[in-house]
Amino acid sequence: MTDAALAELTDSQADRLLEADRPMKRQRLESIPAIEHGEAGDSSLVIRHPLGLLETFEAPDLLRLGGTCRALYAFTRSEELWRALFVEPFILTEPVKQWPVFKTWSTEELLAQYADVAFRAESVDWPLKTYIEYMNNNTDESPLYLFDRSFAEKMNLKVSTQPEDDAGYWPPTCFGSDLFSVLGEQRPDHRWLIVGPERSGSTFHKDPNATSAWNAVLKGSKYWIMFPSSANLPPPPGVYVSDDQSEVTSPLSIAEWLLGFHAEARRTAGCIEGICGEGEVLYVPSGWYHLVLNLEPAIAITQNFIPRKRVGAVLHFLRDQKQSISGFSDEIQDPYSLFVERLRDYDRQLLEEGLQELEKLSKGARGKWEQLTKGSAEDDDAGEGGFSFGFGGDDDDAEVP
């Protein structure tokens, strides 16, 4: 590592790097004893492998390290390395606390600035002062939930892609770039202000257009219960899903579902539950079912995005599940073609990788359909194939259901 690169690091980080520059024999990570630094009793840094020290670096330091040699460059930019982190939900405890809106927003502060601004609360548009009055005095089992997609424009709030002095907030940097941003002003709805009293929330759903999402709690706390979506796993108890898993129906209110199905859900394969507290942000992987309940009056911001590794899945959704696409303006007639065109201009190689993944997903879907409709060769010989359907000919008097 060059002296110039070391100078960019803090003294303590440089010391850690120099102490760990000798390679160890290849062995299982759990067999390597912990290396502890700091004063006696200080366990703020525990490294179980030399590469574990990279976890102590901030993103800018990792980028500078990546410029020192090809091996570190590949390591710090390898998407396969970080891919496992985005398979399941997780909570980050620090990024939100750097946002100006976290430091300044409260219901009182929002009322002082935006009392007469109308926000969407489910099916109605109310001035904020009307909603806050309702929020503070309601006794409803399922209170109205303020969920507004145009809050940034209404509040003249700057949203940046990285920390900026005049921005209200920015996405946590670990999520990388949002590839729907290539659509510019033609992108679908993707961010919402969420305000609600205790007991308010959202019933089971998946995020739109095969996107991933993060949900940042600025005030209050939220209970989450989540399930992965897979052909090999059932949907959450009490939830009904269309054959292509694009439409999710939960006919019960949150309270009814918790009373009737919560215990069973906790025993269901894949169930993850937790509480996201004030100043924390929860990551929602693409395709995961989730129910959210405010445990106390809460203010949150949520944003949907497309990470690089989900391009193929999003292309598959936009092309083959058109009836489930949401959030685009009416003037966008073909979101799939628009996204392909813009992505080609942005990164042709990334588009090619996405189209290859799309083809794999399509073959998988066709294979399952053929299994259902054709059955096996032996079954066909016995006159017992899968199921089939047809509209009949002109002389067929059978009714079509």
Whether residue 37 is found in the same domain as residue 108: no
Q: Which residues contact 278 (CB under 8 A, 6 or more apart)?
A: 217, 218, 219, 220, 221
**Span 62-89, average pLDDT:** 62
167 and 37 housed in the same domain? no
Backbone conformation region of residue 392, classed left if phi is above 0, alpha if psi is from -120 to 50, else beta: left
Q: What is the pLDDT of residue 62?
A: 63
pLDDT score recorded for residue 243: 75
pTM for the full model? 0.72
Q: Assign residue 224 the CATH number of its domain.
A: 2.60.120.650
Do 56 and 166 reside in the same domain of the chain? no
In a domain, 159, yes or no: yes
- Specify whether 131 is located in the same domain as 215: yes
- SS3 assignment, position 371: helix
- Farthest CA pair distance, the chain: 90
Average pLDDT over every residue of 377-386: 41
Of the candidates 172, 170, 176, the one whose C-alpha atom is nearest the C-alpha of residue 158 is 170
Domain boundary among 268, 300, 324: 324
Residues in the chain: 401
Please identify, among 257, 292, 324, the residue that sits at the C-terminal boundary of a domain: 324
What does 302-345 look like in DSSP terms, one character per residue? EEEE--GGGHHHHHHHHHH-GGG--S--TT-S-HHHHHHHHHHH
> Structurally, how many domains does the chain consist of?
2
Q: Give residue 293's Cα distance to chain centre.
A: 17
Top-confidence residue, 244 or 156: 156
Res. 60 pLDDT band, cuts 50 70 90: low
DSSP secondary structure of 1-29: --HHHHHHS-HHHHHHHHHT-SPPPP--G
For residue 62, give both structure tokens: 């990792």
**Domain assignment present for 109:** yes
Residue 369 has pLDDT above 60, yes or no: no
Determine what percent of the chain is predicted with pLDDT higher than 70. Answer: 68
Residues 134 and 161 in one domain: yes
Do 129 and 155 fall within a single domain? Answer: yes
Average pLDDT, the chain: 80
99 and 55 belong to one structural domain: no
Q: Give residue 113's pLDDT.
A: 98
Residue 286 lies in a domain: yes
Q: Is the pLDDT of residue 86 over 90?
A: no
Three-state DSSP class for residue 112: helix
Residue 6 pLDDT level (bands cut at 50, 70, 90) = very low
Of the three residues 300, 324, 348, the one that is the final residue of a domain is 324
pLDDT of residue 58: 61
Provide the domain limits for residue 251. Answer: 90-324
- Asked which of 25-29, 148-152, 165-169, 313-317 is least confident by mean pLDDT, the reply is 25-29
SS3 177: coil
